[in-house]
Structure 1
Amino acid sequence: MNRRQFLCTTGAFAGWSGGVACQARAEAYTVDRALVLVDLNGGNDGLNTVIPIGDPLYRALRPTLAVPHDQVLPLDERTGLHPSLGPLLGAWRGQELAIVQGVGHDAGNRSHFRSRQIWDTASDTHEYRDDTWLAHASLPAASFVASCTDAARSIAQHEAAVVRIALHGFDTHENQALRHAALLGQLAQGLMMLRARLIASDDWHRTLVMTNSDFGRSARENAVGGTDHGAAAAHFLMGGNVRGGLWGAAPRLNALDTGDGLPVSLDFRQLHATACAHLGVAPPSSVERFAPLPLLRV
């Protein structure tokens, strides 16, 4: 699929929401690659999602929020997953889940609105753009699992090359432990539903799933059992064409910024560049100077 075909297929979706419309169908083209963008709205706590079990500072910074060691799902001797993400282990063991650590943007903005602008337009933090980095179809379903089901159907029926779905509620300033566990459980259940359906329809090999979020959260817990707005966080890329494993630098808990945010070691636009490489389209000007991550099999 060339760039013109891609834009003809998805151009109608820029800034549009409300489900997949009949005019959005790619009747004239065979869409040979698909992308599912998964928004973790509110700012996901990456540190309790992908847990640095080998760093004693983790428990020192989070005396009540740290996940108990015997509940963490180990990926290696240094890193583990939150127990609610257990369903993802099938994709991890199948080497179809890449976990990219330290993702964010320089001079990380703590505003939800501005941070979403930066992610959506792939802009520099001092730059204001009104375009999106990639056209997409948005799906507003009854639940996250239902959104994943709709996304799988849309891809299998070649209705869209790029689909965006969202899971809300990650702004966990207080009483985070149970809320975050429930959200991660929904995320894992939905993504595994998506994977199973796309495997069954023989579309998993051509699909890339990629998470987005406003920002990470503070490494230090606050006084009301939550975390505040932070900077870098880990993100997931998953698909039949993904070289699974841990990518990027482990979180440096001894080098927090003035707001207790984790340092950024990988610019978020490298994820965008990777998505464009997967789709086989030229990246927009805001992304073209960033190299794709070498985690795609072909």
Structure 2
Amino acid sequence: MKRRDFLAAGATAAAAVAGSALGLPGAARAQGTAPAHPGTASGYENLLILVELKGGNDGLNTVVPFADPLYYSYRQTIGVPRAQAIQLDERTALHPVLAPLMPMWRAHELAIVQGVSYAQPNLSHFRSIEIWDTASRSNEYLREGWLTRAFAREPVPPGFAADALVLGSAEMGPLSNGARAIALVNPAQFARASRLVTPVSLKERNPALAHILDVENDIVRAADALRPRPGNYALKTVFASGAFGASIKTAMQALASSDTPQGAPVAGRGVAVIRLTLNGFDTHQNQPQRHADLLRQFAAGMAAMRSALVELGRWDRTLIVTYAEFGRRVRENQSRGTDHGTASAHFVAGGRVAGGLYGQAPQLARLDGNGNLPVGVDFRQIYATVLGPWWGLDAQAVLQQRFEPLPLLRA
């Protein structure tokens, strides 16, 4: 077994020991703990925040093509009423609960990319999110997440506690199999988590376990470095309640703890990526209210992130990107919901974002034989934008194929 693989496996095993030893189900879990190597990737000071809309968000009821009569023909009971939708241009609107996004939109700091998917899309939750996480073709199976491959080519430099902070999910997703990620399944317990103390007797009896526990100690110490402490900057931003709001609050508090007043990473602290998860988008039944509740949480969370990042002086150095395994089918089903579909709309936000509509508006007259939308933008073009223009990395080397970046960033 390669050393890097051993460390990744060891960290996962040690996480269970840490949770047991601390008696905290939300104790820091880690995957991939190979030490960072010296690098020159100063671009990682440009923070990436990924927001997974888990379950497959319905792009058509999020970004509404209200001017196309086919939309209301296909969605007679669940379509967003034109009078309630927030109009963006002569044919496109937002779901009404997304009103908190409008200050970003008016400031040209919010980009909406429509028609995002990939060739020969897979409609299985497990397989499709694997494709998005690894940036693979639909018939290709890759082991490492796309961010893991990026960090392997250009390691996060010293001065960062870890490559990434994962909140609200035990899954590493794009950080799988190698990235140094601190995963906090229960963010509400983050501030109460303690450092793991490795029992000496265990070290003496089992050297292999001792090594695993030492590796886990490093990750717990990294998590501890991100924990808010008395004297740290106290955020004035008000965060929404609920699991997603708690995840965002924890992430922003971690940033406040890891920055100097000038916004530079403190030695031994900080991360290059924050990954958040909002669960529940698999809306097969009774979609209107469920979807509205989820979008309301999302919009409140985005507004809070913007407020906190502006407060911390990091808004211009942060890129927020949404993703999901797939969209929803165009025609509503008999349960007032939508089934698994293909192309969807995604959001990109930040102080250096060139706001507006990008990609391909829904082609409702050009559905495939399964009633799904055609692909307008390959999702890996968004990744190429992160890797190239945002971080200054070789996107083609990481993605193993050339994808044209999208013009989402201002110079």
TM norm structure 2? 0.65
Classify 1:279/1:42 alpha carbon distance in 2 versus 1 (closer, same or farther; 3 Å): same
* Matching residue of 2:145: 132
Query: Deviation digits for residues 20-77 of structure 1, max 9, x if unmatched?
Result: 98x9999x99752000000000000000000001100000000000011111000011
- Mapped to 2, the partners of 1:65 and 1:25 lie a distance apart of 50
Deviation at 1:139, TM superposition (A): 1.4
Give yes or no for contact 1:216–1:232 (8 Å, CA) kept in 2.
yes
Aligned to 1:282, which of 394, 400, 403? 394
Aligned to 2:248, which of 111, 129, 148? 148
- Mapped to 2, the partners of 1:272 and 1:207 lie a distance apart of 15
Deviation at 1:19, TM superposition (A): 5.1
Give yes or no for contact 1:19–1:138 (8 Å, CA) kept in 2.
no
Give yes or no for contact 1:43–1:216 (8 Å, CA) kept in 2.
yes
- Mapped to 1, the partners of 2:400 and 2:342 lie a distance apart of 20
Segments of structure 2 that go 5 or more residues without pairing to the other structure are: 1-7, 16-26, 149-163, 169-186, 189-242, 259-264
Classify 1:288/1:160 alpha carbon distance in 2 versus 1 (closer, same or farther; 3 Å): farther
Q: Aligned ranges for residues 16-55 of structure 1 at < 5 Å?
A: 31-55=44-68
* Matching residue of 2:160: none
Classify 1:186/1:24 alpha carbon distance in 2 versus 1 (closer, same or farther; 3 Å): farther
- Mapped to 1, the partners of 2:409 and 2:28 lie a distance apart of 29
- Mapped to 2, the partners of 1:133 and 1:51 lie a distance apart of 30
AA at the equivalent of 2:294: L
Matched, 1:297 2:410: yes
Aligned to 2:298, which of 173, 187, 193? 187
- Mapped to 1, the partners of 2:28 and 2:146 lie a distance apart of 20
Q: Aligned ranges for residues 1-298 of structure 1 at < 5 Å?
A: 31-135=44-148, 136-140=164-168, 141=187, 143-156=243-256, 157=258, 158=265, 159-277=270-388, 278-283=390-395, 284-286=397-399, 288-298=401-411
- Mapped to 2, the partners of 1:182 and 1:222 lie a distance apart of 20
Deviation at 1:282, TM superposition (A): 2.3
Does the residue aligned with 2:147 lie in a helix, a strand or coil?
Answer: coil
Give yes or no for contact 1:217–1:230 (8 Å, CA) kept in 2.
yes
Give yes or no for contact 1:20–1:139 (8 Å, CA) kept in 2.
no
Classify 1:34/1:223 alpha carbon distance in 2 versus 1 (closer, same or farther; 3 Å): same
* Matching residue of 1:9: none
Deviation at 1:107, TM superposition (A): 0.8
Does the residue aligned with 1:134 lie in a helix, a strand or coil?
Answer: helix
Count of aligned pairs between the two proteins: 284
Does the residue aligned with 2:352 lie in a helix, a strand or coil?
Answer: coil
Single out whichever of 136-145 and 255-264 deviates more from structure 2: 136-145
* Matching residue of 2:172: none
AA at the equivalent of 2:136: S
Does the residue aligned with 2:348 lie in a helix, a strand or coil?
Answer: strand
AA at the equivalent of 2:167: L
- Mapped to 1, the partners of 2:244 and 2:405 lie a distance apart of 28
Give yes or no for contact 1:96–1:244 (8 Å, CA) kept in 2.
yes
Please tell me whether Structure 1 or Structure 2 has the larger radius of gyration of its CA atoms.
2
- Mapped to 2, the partners of 1:35 and 1:291 lie a distance apart of 19
Deviation at 1:146, TM superposition (A): 1.5
Identity %, equivalent residues: 50
Query: Deviation digits for residues 236-288 of structure 1, max 9, x if unmatched?
Result: 00000100000011100011122222111110000101111212222244255
* Matching residue of 1:8: none
Classify 1:148/1:262 alpha carbon distance in 2 versus 1 (closer, same or farther; 3 Å): same
- Mapped to 1, the partners of 2:318 and 2:400 lie a distance apart of 21
Classify 1:19/1:155 alpha carbon distance in 2 versus 1 (closer, same or farther; 3 Å): farther
AA at the equivalent of 1:164: R
- Mapped to 2, the partners of 1:50 and 1:19 lie a distance apart of 36
AA at the equivalent of 1:96: E
Classify 1:19/1:206 alpha carbon distance in 2 versus 1 (closer, same or farther; 3 Å): farther
Give yes or no for contact 1:65–1:225 (8 Å, CA) kept in 2.
yes
Which structure shows the bigger proportion of residues in helix conformation? 2
AA at the equivalent of 1:146: A
AA at the equivalent of 1:289: R
